Amino acid sequence: MRLENKVALITGGGSGIGAACARLFTAEGARVAVADLSRQGADLVARQIEDAGGRATTLSGDVSRRADAERLVSETVKSLGGLDILVNSAGITARNVRQGADFEEIWDTVINVNLKGTFLMCWYAVPEMKKRGGGSIVNLSSIIGLVGHPLSDGFNPYPASKGGVLQLTRDLGINQAKFGIRTNCLCPGFTRTALTQALTENPEMLARLESLHPIGRLGEPEEIARAALFLASDEASYVTGAFLAVDGGYTAR
């Protein structure tokens, strides 16, 4: 097993890519803390893991809040005995901000969850990883952190938030390497999750998005999780400060 005796904390673990990572990591031997804003979603994923013979605990919190981020890390350590792997999968798009929000609130909300939330989780995870002699952080950026957004008017906060995650990853990757902590990020293409559901339910929009990916379809959460597993595992022992595009060829065009 590739993650045997490892402890992983996965934010956004109640659905989509985070849930797929939680299920896969436990199948590979990790003990996993499934953290999500929705306790109901986290509990469901934990039950799926336990039914399959794995070990998981559930946590609920808002990664954009300092106290919550600190608690998610401390409760993982208390419940599972330490922290070796952090997957920052919690995220939001402008479409998911509350109805009626103005442009500034939309900007602040997306930046706070996607970028500040990733920062806060790393901030509290790194000291715990140092106690273990190292660890692996896998951040979720996006292809939209690498290129412009095809559905934006130029004021969409999502590209800025994901571009920030990419640069945070590079900076952490080179500066924490001396402590044995590797930090990398994934840049998924459009993937079938709750965040893209509003787009994929529209047949014309779905066809347009599929046409942007040379492979001819959108990604599945399990495909992104397999890439996260590589970066989290010792198989990626010489990889830090890097990004991996898992995008069906989107950014190669």
- Euclidean distance between CA atoms 29 and 223, whole angstroms: 19
Catalytic (active-site) positions: 158
Q: Which residues of 7-37 are buried (b: 16+ CB within 10 A; e: fewer)?
A: bbbbbbbbbbbbbbbbbbbbbbebbbbbbbb
Long-range own/partner contacts, residues 215-220 (CB < 8 A, 24 or more apart): 215/248, 215/249, 216/248, 217/248, 218/189, 218/190, 218/191, 218/192, 218/248, 219/188, 219/189, 219/190, 219/191, 219/192, 219/246, 219/247, 219/248, 220/191, 220/192
